[in-house]
Amino acid sequence: MSSGNEALRRKIITAALPLVGQLGPANVTVRRICAEAGISVGSFYNGFSSLDELLGELDLLSGSSFPVHSPEDLRAQTAEGKLLEFAGHYIRALLDTGWEDHLALSRSYPGALGDEDRPVCRLVEEIVRRGQETGELTRQLDEKHIRQMFFITLRGCSQYWCAARGQYDLERETLLHLRILLHGLRRVL
């Protein structure tokens, strides 16, 4: 895809995200997205073949179609292992999407990653809670606080990756930062 089409796709995604969040995907139209983006309907089809393609992309970007839905979907046996495996899925989704689209998403929907009502947030909290029950993770912080620290680490590394225009080893660095965080959560604070 040409850089012009990539810029157009980012513009459409940036316009569509808040509309989908406010109105729901069933109530968003190509015309409404184009009006918000300041482009013609014809231009929309230079970036996406259909509204369904755009909605599928938004679903992927927002994490709604995340491949992990419960702790049992993860092969690791420990809480730390499950959190790192979860992060690996998240990182692969980012790498598949690309830093430009991730940057557009984070600017359009800044609270997306840490929104506690999202299924991925509840999943991480459940992994943490189980890790606290088995003594793997500290109980001096509640699962919501640990979830927040986990997602701040993920978000920080992904934003650095965007700032570096993809020239940052996202997987290696994110997993390193998360291992340091999780090591600290094993100890008494």
Spatial contact of 104 and 10, defined as CB atoms under 8 Å apart = yes
As to burial, measured by CB atoms within 10 angstroms (0-12 exposed, 13-18 middle, 19+ buried), residue 134 is exposed
Domains and CATH numbers, the chain: 1-62 (1.10.10.60), 66-189 (1.10.357)
How far, in Å, are 9, 21, 40 from residue 56 at the CA level? 13, 14, 21
Q: Is the pTM of this model over 0.95?
A: no
Spatial contact of 12 and 20, defined as CB atoms under 8 Å apart = no
Say how many residues make up the chain: 189
Q: What is the pLDDT of residues 19-60, one digit of tens each?
A: 887 787 888 999 999 999 999 999 999 999 999 888 877 775
Q: Encoding tokens for residue 29?
A: 């139209």
Q: What is the pLDDT of residues 127-171, one digit of tens each?
A: 999 999 999 999 999 999 999 999 999 989 999 999 999 999 999
